[in-house]
Amino acid sequence: MRSARANTRGAGGQGVGGFLVAFNVYLDTQEIAVAKEIAKQIRTSSGGLPGVQASGFIVDGLAQVSMNLLDIDITSPAVVFNAIKARAENHGVAVQKSEIVGLVPERALIGAAETALRLSNARDHILEAKLGFLPRDAAPSLDGWIDALAGESPTPGGGSAAALAGTLAAALVAMVARLTVGRKAYVAVEAQAREIIAEAEQLRGELRRLVDEDATAYEGVTRAYKIPKGDPRRAQAIDAALLAAARPPAEVVKRGRRLLALAQTIEQIGNKNAVSDARVAGMLARTAIDGATENVNANLAAVSDEARAKQSGVS
């Protein structure tokens, strides 16, 4: 059960009023006072734009206006960007870049294009939407992936599921850390929370990649077992495939252990309204570790050449 909290969530979350987005704008200056002044002018609490939380920081040597947009259908990223740009120009400062942290609905980016290009019907001109198909490199939907997991094929299987558990753990760690950044009660741990966000996001990307790599590696095992039993290369091919299949879950174990440490840290220092989320992150990290360890052990146990398995370095 999710613990009670205020009407806001981390980036890419569904808040009480609408979809919340973490959005940052970098100014071409190192003067934090400029970012703080602009943040004060645009945030709701100071009489600025509706549904905007904003603060000023120095990030990577640049002044940054860091924001939570509480409802992008009320105040969109494009509206906020233009407001910051205008106020920055009043200070004689240019906007260098902006960034979205996490995921956003498609309509947020389409709306930005409409604002920048002064279009009123951008969605009506998107080819993929009209043709009704996903780009070639698009990932399957979550429901589609779960259906595949439930199917009769051995892939995706337990190893991919363990990697997905780790991916979810990383996402929750990042969410709790984002719920900590920018709040007065946690200013003493803000730098540490930002470091946790950066590491959790890196681990999230790596673990998401391992979801697919685990399935691909085990498909090699399936192919190896289909080699005719009379083929003298069969045993060696199976052993090689099993060792290759053990490597992705071994990587999941390493990342899961680091994630568990991050989850425990953010549980201790992070937003107290999100303690349950941090604990769930820890549980998911443990699941990733245990599940991936089981897969490593199963693959290594099936290797016929014990000496080769021991020398592989997979553990």
* Interval 97-113: pLDDT, tens: 999 887 777 777 887 87
Say yes or no to pLDDT of 23 above 70.
yes
53 and 156 co-located in one domain: no
159 and 291 co-located in one domain: yes
> Distances from the Cα of 19 to the Cαs of 22, 197, 275, in angstroms?
10, 20, 22
Phi and psi of 26, rounded to 5°? -95, 130
Among 315, 314, 263, which Cα is nearest to 286's? 263
Quote the CA–CA distance of 27 and 34 in Å, as a whole number: 9
Say yes or no to pLDDT of 13 above 60.
no
Q: What is the CATH number of the domain that holds 290?
A: 1.20.120.680
Q: Which residues of the chain form beta strands (DSSP E)?
A: 13-14, 19-27, 52-59, 62-69, 95-101
Residues in CB range of 219: below 8 A, 6 or more apart: 155
25 and 165 co-located in one domain: no
Average pLDDT, stretch 81-92?
95
Quote the CA–CA distance of 213 and 219 in Å, as a whole number: 10
178 and 262 co-located in one domain: yes
Average pLDDT for the chain: 85
161 and 275 co-located in one domain: yes
What is the pLDDT confidence band of residue 254, given thresholds at 50, 70 and 90? very high
Residue 136 lies in a domain: no
Residue 123 lies in a domain: no
275-301 helix and 158-180 helix, angle to the nearest 10 degrees: 160
Whether omega before 77 lies within 30 degrees of 0, making that bond cis, reads no
298 and 215 co-located in one domain: yes
213 and 282 co-located in one domain: yes
Residue 132 lies in a domain: no
Phi and psi of 125, rounded to 5°? -115, 15
Say yes or no to pLDDT of 131 above 80.
no
Q: What is the CATH number of the domain that holds 68?
A: 3.30.70.670
* pLDDT recorded at residue 35: 96
Residue 237 lies in a domain: yes
Which of 69, 101, 117 is the last residue in one of the domains? 117
Which of 47, 82, 117 is the last residue in one of the domains? 117
* pLDDT recorded at residue 132: 53
Which of 100, 117, 134 is the last residue in one of the domains? 117
Quote the CA–CA distance of 62 and 50 in Å, as a whole number: 26
Residue 135 lies in a domain: no
88 and 172 co-located in one domain: no
281-299, pLDDT tens digit by residue?
Answer: 999 999 999 999 999 999 9
Q: What range does the domain containing 91 cover?
A: 13-117
255 and 203 co-located in one domain: yes
Between 230 and 287, the higher pLDDT residue: 287
Residue 161 lies in a domain: yes
Say yes or no to pLDDT of 144 above 60.
yes
Q: Which amino acid is present at 147?
A: D
Residue 133 lies in a domain: no
What is the pLDDT confidence band of residue 72, given thresholds at 50, 70 and 90? confident
When divided into structural domains, the chain yields a total of 2
Out of 46-55, 117-126, 210-219, 258-267, least confident range: 117-126
* pLDDT recorded at residue 219: 87
Among 241, 232, 260, which Cα is nearest to 169's? 260
> Distances from the Cα of 31 to the Cαs of 55, 76, 171, 187, 192, in angstroms?
14, 26, 32, 20, 22
50 and 152 co-located in one domain: no
236 and 300 co-located in one domain: yes
149 and 268 co-located in one domain: yes
Residue 125 lies in a domain: no
Phi and psi of 25, rounded to 5°? -125, 125
Quote the CA–CA distance of 252 and 297 in Å, as a whole number: 13
Quote the CA–CA distance of 188 and 224 in Å, as a whole number: 55
Between 295 and 11, the higher pLDDT residue: 295
Contact 259, 203 (CB under 8 A): yes
Contact 30, 63 (CB under 8 A): yes
